[in-house]
Structure 1
């Protein structure tokens, strides 16, 4: 790979221009752009790009602003994007954050702070409400809250447990949403050794409960080994059980001070998790040990939760400052095989755009509004950013490569490795110009086992010599309406296309309904270049045409080159055997993934991802044009809120 990686270039050197898009965007993409992102008299993507570039360049010294604004605008025109909040609010003067999501701590106290220094439950609730009011989603770990029935000394009563307080957070999110224009996104994590774990696992089986939450179990390596070896597993907490609990069961205190509330076979607990995930798609799994071991800042922070979509493991008050590159813009001569040629890829262009994207996202940290001072302080201390990509599935199609082939995975790895190296090199250059992030310590940052310790030696040496501006640099997120609006409905993030075509019914300004044909970008381009869409080549492989193992293999191939995580859904057929389903999660753990989300249509959930023509009386027709929801023609009959809300959260 070394010979394919371009030499370092300065971030402010304008990259060579790339060709303009080969086809004009489809009408539906333009409509989404105007409804979701255009402000004032903006009428085109270029208008949005100019505003965003100008707003983000405000972080530069006055003498550089004009040239850097031009650099950013050029990058946006040629494939770079900001996450949704950046594209919507940057440069507008609106009092909203440019950050999509945060993680916030919750302690074991009603108010103030608890014994561990964590904010009390209602302090955390107020902080979350303020964050969501400003446009940010929130992830939490609720494990500090004492379990149901634990002793509450101050009131001589028994605790109600974390699940009951999650009901309060759920209601607050729903209330905040009712005063705004977009649904709040929340992630709830509970540790695999919390005494209320079984209630947490099955809570969303209850009709209407936690509609405003995704939920995941924080799984440790110790637990997974216990499952493998069929060992007992203790459910523990630092809070003392109430006298009635101590009298009723084998409750005892361990040498480490934790109280053992119960002990069960690890396989029994694992089976409960897997059965729930198989039936209702939740809870998800986050491999919390792996997240912490791989963390560049493991010496100074502990990861307990992720943002709502799972691509960013974050410490308390950490943020998702994300910006993908649209990979389809770097394909040269797409579908050239139709004319006896071979498509190629602009590796040098991708390297240059990646480097500029690092500067762009570093600037976002300095121009955004921060809902809470703690979020500001956390961002300043570590300067996390997340350069990523979108359109991988379509890019492989345009190159004539099957997503579920070894060649397709090799190509994705080459992209991820180049972006890793160029992003880290650009951040070192920014450190020379602006200084390293305040908590930088070369020895601890590069100690064996961290992600940074696996970088090429020349980059490690540069970090030792000059520092690095950003503690973390890479993240592969779902790209939501950004991909639909600015990439002409290119495939989402790391995903393959779900369907090449579908129909969308939309409520118009006069209250009437209009039907729109929505097409995948690569599919449209293939047709416009003369391809026969009635007989697609075998490299047109969609999400449902490949095995669950194929989805997992792509994640496993790319994850070693991403310093945070990957958000991806592994599609599983309705008739997929439970034993094979369970083994997917074991394989994900053994392959070093940091989490896994699956979706299996079944009688409980219905076939949520449908591409049949919509019916007028049950079509999603609201104005919140989420791309995954656009790919969903109708909700299944009856109540199936767990998966419906999970899908709606992907923004």
Structure 2
């Protein structure tokens, strides 16, 4: 059988959440299914080909998508619709030191701000290098004043992004970069500590010279071309022979420690190894790379863009979960070749926000073909993500993808011509190009190449949900096999979905009883592996990717700082171009609703499609009634009828039962009580609700689900304020819910979270973890592996994220390159 005749063996019905995301974000007009979107994209791109081949290529483009090619979100959402929105996900745009006009070749600050606003209005995210802006306190000779520094102007860009978003545009994404030798680098590192710059990811541009100074514990000069203020000159600032001013010297290791501590506590800043980015750049001879797009997978020059698409690796797994499981490399290479042609056409099909972006694209024709679903595909093949065998296969996939993409671009050059800035001799001298097979390099010498760059591994959260049945995100391993995602509905309420990983669903579909058998060893999640194993996966794949990889090293909350502090140093020594990390903590929270045990293999046992069933608790028998242990919390909330206060009481009982072959004991709620005057209509529903919750609890029913349903109740009397979010800067932000019922359910959730019965997202903690917590509490043992910080009565955990478009909570964070909400688990824009 020819590779082109093989069809994907997909027997899984789409998850409800996948269909909803598809229809909300990508399907337009009368479109309802994936096939409708694919047909529109194929038709729109084929229209740009010569007339005699359009029908043939349209069919070929549709075939490639059916076989596993997933164009990036902007392409799926806008191609063929005649919109004035860009098909390109992300850009890098320059910022100079002048207030307006231009600073040499760079646009002034407010000129750059206007350009960025136009780009975001059309749907693109933007990365910037702010290093040209003069430091705080330096001289501004034209006005005889002092500069306010780059961080102050980043706040202006942050506000502009927020304003563009509020006007109805796609949620903006921004990356702010500052070189490690900029005199304001300490302010930049701490810029987000107080909850500012919520529309930015930030990264430090680190040089090899600085990293060598870290290794040697040497001094490192902080420099800029702008003249320092008199105070800095009085304390030793001086001008070097190269014309740069040395503001002061810092101990490199101390500065590095600041970066590591901030990253450990707040997941930012990330680190970009700018010298390696430039050494590995195919266009080393005609451009300089100083920043990346917001998710970090594309180091780009001024006005550069990333034109993205991914191959769904799970689509190429044959006979999954069997002794004959294999990866279809031949079909992957064939699909990759078609995908390169499609991405090249996107550059001609798109609407460019700025003429400079159009010119930059035409001169170099960058594209970024990558993959998604690596973690899920390895599971289907019986390989662990954190084992050498998994890394070896990932490296081979990347190598085969590289060779197929470069060969396809050579063929396009023979047909359509090379990119205009192609210089065969210098291009072939590039470090990455020199690693290509000899026959490919000779083909490039003879025929040229259509695209300067071809490969990029981007985050793919939303398109993975909509087009790949929630296969794992980009290069990442699965974060959890199942989790709950809550979203707003058209009537202002909300609903919950169970979202399951593709490999997990398929394993169950093939007849495996997960609850009885557990999961085989290859089912390993992000938090179950060592941080070094995340890094080694990138190290295995990066040599075959000509731009970069968006990768987040997820570590558990209790991951020791002494082990964490060397991760980025190891990444530099391993030859990576950058890295980001994420550690759940009391400031950032946990991204998904899977608790510490739910993320591990044996506990992923709730049947997909049956979220109301809770066999983990129902099978437990409670002890004979005696004295119940109770917890009471005073609550205060405000409605249109005025300010109210009350006491919530939850009583707990011990329950015993067998779990995974052993006898365990847990504590679970038995009764809910909120006193009130039953003669008033306003309190009759309180009494009824508490009685119904008590009945659910005594029957061993799903308490977490019952409270989640209560939080979906909406009334016509207006929102209810039920507390405050305390930001890092100490400012208290009020929290609103859609009804008094929803507010009380929220506060009951918080009480049960503090007790340890629910996890941080209000979902049921698995039985073995409940048993362990009870044992730890009775034996005065150390706290649980992932404890919930105690919350004072009437207060809520500190939150400082951006506003979620689904639930309204200030809980949006960037994880694995995607926007995710800590509160409702909304997955936003990626890449």
Interval of TM-score (by shorter of Structure 1 and Structure 2): over 0.9
Partners of 2:13 and 2:188 in 1: how far apart?
48
State whether structure 2 residue 581 is matched by structure 1 residue 592.
Answer: no
Equivalence for 1:486: 467
Partners of 2:454 and 2:416 in 1: how far apart?
16
Pick the aligned partner of 1:80 from 40, 49, 69: 69
Pick the aligned partner of 2:220 from 223, 233, 241: 233
State whether structure 2 residue 801 is matched by structure 1 residue 641.
Answer: yes
Partners of 1:111 and 1:501 in 2: how far apart?
50
Equivalence for 1:465: 446
Partners of 2:58 and 2:590 in 1: how far apart?
46
Partners of 2:217 and 2:448 in 1: how far apart?
46
Partners of 1:123 and 1:130 in 2: how far apart?
11
State whether structure 2 residue 502 is matched by structure 1 residue 524.
Answer: no
State whether structure 2 residue 524 is matched by structure 1 residue 541.
Answer: yes
Equivalence for 1:274: 260
Cα deviations across residues 216-251 of structure 1 (Å, max 9, x unaligned)? 00001000000000110010000111234323x101
State whether structure 2 residue 105 is matched by structure 1 residue 117.
Answer: yes
Partners of 1:111 and 1:130 in 2: how far apart?
16
Structure 2: gaps of 5 or more residues: 596-703, 713-734, 738-758, 763-787, 789-795, 803-810, 820-827
Pick the aligned partner of 1:496 from 466, 471, 477: 477
Equivalence for 1:7: none
Partners of 2:711 and 2:443 in 1: how far apart?
58
How do 1:331-346 residues align onto structure 2 when only pairs under 5 Å count?
Answer: 331-336=317-322, 341-346=323-328
| TM-score, reference length from structure 2 | 0.73
Note the C-alpha offset of 1:78.
Answer: 1.3
Equivalence for 1:251: 237
Pick the aligned partner of 2:381 from 384, 393, 399: 399
Equivalence for 2:271: 285
Cα deviations across residues 68-117 of structure 1 (Å, max 9, x unaligned)? 11110111111001100000000111110000000000001011111x31
How do 1:146-165 residues align onto structure 2 when only pairs under 5 Å count?
Answer: 146-165=134-153
State whether structure 2 residue 48 is matched by structure 1 residue 59.
Answer: yes
Note the C-alpha offset of 1:60.
Answer: 0.9
Aligned length: 623
Equivalence for 2:207: 220
Structure 1: gaps of 5 or more residues: 1-12, 623-630
Pick the aligned partner of 2:94 from 105, 108, 121: 105
Pick the aligned partner of 2:185 from 189, 194, 197: 197
SS at match of 1:458: helix
Note the C-alpha offset of 1:14.
Answer: 9.3
SS at match of 1:81: strand
User: Aligned Cα RMSD in Å?
Assistant: 2.0
Partners of 2:367 and 2:142 in 1: how far apart?
43
Cα deviations across residues 250-286 of structure 1 (Å, max 9, x unaligned)? 0100011000011111111111111111111110001
Q: Which structure: greater strand fraction?
A: 2
SS at match of 2:222: strand
Cα deviations across residues 529-576 of structure 1 (Å, max 9, x unaligned)? 112222110111111111111111111100000001110110112222
- The question of whether the paired residues in 1 share the 8 Å contact of 2:412 and 2:450 is answered with yes
SS at match of 1:24: coil
Compared CA separation, residues 142 and 20, structure 1 to 2 (3 A): same
SS at match of 1:216: strand
SS at match of 2:126: strand
Note the C-alpha offset of 1:442.
Answer: 1.1
Note the C-alpha offset of 1:618.
Answer: 7.7
Q: Which structure: greater helix fraction?
A: 1
Worse overlay, 389-398 or 449-458: 449-458
SS at match of 2:19: helix
- The question of whether the paired residues in 1 share the 8 Å contact of 2:462 and 2:829 is answered with no
Partners of 1:33 and 1:415 in 2: how far apart?
28
Higher RCO by CA contacts (8 Å cutoff, separation 6 or greater): 1
- The question of whether the paired residues in 1 share the 8 Å contact of 2:365 and 2:450 is answered with yes
Note the C-alpha offset of 1:67.
Answer: 1.2
- The question of whether the paired residues in 2 share the 8 Å contact of 1:507 and 1:621 is answered with no
Pick the aligned partner of 1:323 from 309, 320, 327: 309
- The question of whether the paired residues in 2 share the 8 Å contact of 1:103 and 1:138 is answered with yes
| TM-score, reference length from structure 1 | 0.93
**The structure with more radius of gyration:** 2
State whether structure 2 residue 458 is matched by structure 1 residue 477.
Answer: yes
SS at match of 1:64: helix
Pick the aligned partner of 1:568 from 551, 558, 577: 551
